[in-house]
């Protein structure tokens, strides 16, 4: 079951991150570059907390 939760989490997280970066790219290329750095930072921080939570289930 934790494998399923991890699979679902990664699919949703990658989809949302990609959508945000592409949305920012429509506005401005430099906004997309800065936004992608911020999204990657938040992805790493949130993923570590989510994986700890999933492992504790």
Digit-by-digit pLDDT tens for the chain (57 residues) are: 888 999 999 999 999 999 999 999 999 999 999 999 999 999 999 999 999 998 898
Phi and psi at residue 2, to the nearest 5° = -60, -30
Q: What is the pLDDT of residue 2?
A: 83
* pTM of the complete model: 0.81
Q: Are 39 and 16 in contact (CB under 8 A)?
A: no
CB atoms within 10 A of CB 16: 12
Q: What is the pLDDT of residue 36?
A: 94
């Amino acid at each position: 079951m934790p494998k399923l939760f991890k699979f679902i989490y990664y699919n949703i997280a990658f989809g949302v991150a990609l959508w945000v970066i592409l949305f920012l790219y429509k506005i401005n290329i430099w906004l997309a570059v800065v936004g992608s750095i911020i999204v990657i930072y938040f992805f790493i921080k949130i993923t570590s907390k989510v994986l700890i939570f999933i492992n504790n289930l």
